[in-house]
Amino acid sequence: MHMTVLKTIIHLVSLGLLVLTFYQAINDQLGADPVEALLHFTGIGAFNLLLLSLLVSPLAKFSKQIVFIRIRRLLGLYAFFYGLSHFVSYIIFELQLEWTLLLSEIIKRPYITVGFAALLILTALTITSTQSIQRKMGRTWQKLHNWVYVAGLLVALHFIWSVKSNLIEPLIYWLILTLLLATRTNKLKLFYRRRFSKNPPNKK
Amino acid sequence: MLIKHPKKSDSKENQVTDESIYKDRRRLLKSLGFIGAGSLLSTTPSHALNLFGSDESQTFQTKALKFTQPKPYQIKEKLTPEQKVISHNNFYEFGTSKSDPIANAQEFKVDPWSLTIEGLVEKPITLGYEDLFSKFDLEERIYRMRCVEAWSMVIPWIGFSLANIIKQAKPMSTAKYVAFETLHDPDQMPGQRSRFSGGGIDYPYVEGLRLDEAMHHLTLMSVGLYGKTLPAQNGAPIRLVVPWKYGFKSIKSIVKIRLTDKMPPTTWNLLARREYGFYANVNPQVDHPRWSQASERRITSGGLLTRNRIPTQMFNGYEEVASLYSGMDLTKLY
C-alpha cells in the first residue's frame, strides 16, 4: 500500500473519531455522563495510538519494509493530540476550570501525577518532531526520543491506578506494552544504563 | 436598461428561506433533535411490544405503582432524567462498565423473590415478591444520590422506611447492626461467574448499617423509581437507599437482612480498606485517597458544556443525621 493512502487513513480515523465523540458529547448523546465517556475515549485512544507507534519499528524490521517508519511520527503526534485532548477535557469538563483543584490533584494524586508526567514527555517529543529540529539536535534527538518508553510505562501506570477494581483491561494493556518493549531489550538496557546506572557505559 | 446576468451560484427568489421559518430556526432545529433523541428513547418500549420477537432478547418489565407523595420528601432540585438513571449504573453483578447493567440485566427474574429478615429478632419475616409492594405503604421520596466517584443524581424513589420492617420483626436488645446481602445467582448474574468479569469482588455483595442508622426514617427500602417498579439494573425488586452515604452503601437486589451484635463485613471495605470505610458518610472534608470529595458533578440533562460541578454538602445535605455521629472522629471513621 502506498504510504499516502495509509497516512490518509490514519488522519481520517483519528480525527474523525475525535470529532464525532466531541460532537456526541456536546449534544448529550454519549450516555448518561458524557464527561466520563469522553475522558475514557480520549485516554484509551491516546494509549492505543502510542502502542501503535511503538509497533511500527518492530513491524518494519520484521517485514523488511522500512517505509513503514514514515507513519511512526504521525501516530506519535496523534497520541500526543489525544493525550492533550484528554488533559484539556479533564480541566474544562471534569474539573470545570477549578484551577486550585487542578493543582492540588496533580500534586496529591499519584495516578494524575504520572499521567501528567507522561503528557510532558509526549509534549517534548512533539515539539522536537520536525525534521529540521531532528537534524539540528543530532545524536541527542534519539536520546530524547527514547523517553517514549518511559512515557509508555507511565501511561500504563496511570491507567491501572485510575480504575476502581476491574483490573483486566489495564492488565491486557500492560501485557501488550511489555511485548512491545521486549522487542527492544538491547536498546532499553543501554538506555537504562546511560540514564539511571552509576556505572554508565563509555559515552561516545 | 439594466440587464442582469445571474451567475450560476446566485440564489433565486424561490430558494430564499421564508422569514418566519428563518426566525424560527432555533426551535425547528431543537424539535428535529428531539425527534432524533425520541426515536432512540423509544427503542426499549417498542421492543417490549414486539410480540413476534424472539424470546432471547426479552426486555425487563416494570409496572406502575400506587404511592403517596409526603411533603417533606419532595425537594425542589432538578431531577436526573429517567433515561440516565436507568442507563448509568454501578451493578458489577451485571458487568463493570456503567452501560453494562442495562444491557445484561434484561432477562433478570425477580418473581418469585424471597427476602428474609432474620438474626437477632423475635419474629423473623419472609417477604415474597408481591409482599414487597403490598405489606407497607409506598411513598415517593426525591433523594440526592452521591456516588463515591464524585458524581451525583437526583432520583424520585418509591419505597418505605427500613424501620417499618425492622420494627415488625421485633429486634432483640442485643442487636446493634444490620447486615444486608444481594442475591447470589451466577446463572443470572454474569459478574458472579468469575473474578475477572465481576471486578475482583467476592460475591455475594454485602453491606451493613448500625442499627440506629437503619432505623432512621430517611433510610429507604426502595421498590421503584419514576412511578414504576425498579428496572433490573437499578436493583430490582428491592434495594436499599441511604441518601447521606456514598452510593455503594445502597445495596441492590436484597435477599437477606440480618440483625447482628457485631459490625458486619462490607464488600468495598473488604476490597480496599483504605479507600472505603464502613460508614462511608458523604463528607467533603475527607477525600478518597485517589480523588477529592470536595465537589461533585451533578448529572441532569445537558451535554458536555453544562456547568454541573457543585460543592458537596456534609452528609449530602441531610444534616438531620448529624446527631447519629456526635463525638465520632469522621476523618478516622470514614
Residues A34, B294: C-beta atoms closer than 8 Å: no
> Given the C-alpha cell 474523525, which residue does it identify?
A16
Domain holding B292, by residue range, is 13-42+61-325
* Shortest Cα–Cα distance, B68 to chain A (Å): 29
Cell of B90: 454501578
Within-domain flag for B4: no
Contacts of A25 in chain B (CB under 8 A): 303-304
Within-domain flag for B55: no
Q: What percent of chain A has pLDDT over 70?
A: 96
- pTM score, whole prediction: 0.83
Residue B179's Cβ-count burial label (10 Å; 0-12, 13-18, 19+) is buried
CA B236 centroid distance within chain = 11
Within-domain flag for B298: yes
Within-domain flag for B222: yes
Q: What is the mean pLDDT of residues B83-112?
A: 96
- Inter-axis angle of helices A34-63 and A168-182, nearest 10: 20
Q: How many CB atoms lie within 10 A of CB A121?
A: 21
pLDDT in tens, B219-269: 999 999 999 999 999 999 999 999 999 999 999 999 999 999 999 999 999
Within-domain flag for B27: yes
Q: What is the pLDDT of residue B93?
A: 97
Counting the structural domains of chain B, the total is 1
Enter the ipTM. 0.84
Within-domain flag for B8: no
Within-domain flag for B6: no
**Under 8 Å between Cβ of A156 and A174:** yes
Q: What is the largest CA-CA distance in chain B?
A: 107
User: What is d(CA B202, CA B270) in angstroms, rounded to the nearest whole number?
Assistant: 9
Residues in B lying within 8 Å of A, measured between beta carbons: 33, 37, 80, 83-85, 87-88, 92, 96, 98-99, 149, 151, 196, 199-201, 271-272, 287, 290-292, 294-295, 297, 299, 301-305, 307-309
pLDDT in tens, A111-153: 999 999 999 999 999 999 999 999 999 999 999 999 999 999 9
The CATH number assigned to the domain holding B78 equals 3.90.420.10
Within-domain flag for B26: yes
**Under 8 Å CB-to-CB from B185, ≥6 apart: which residues?**
B192
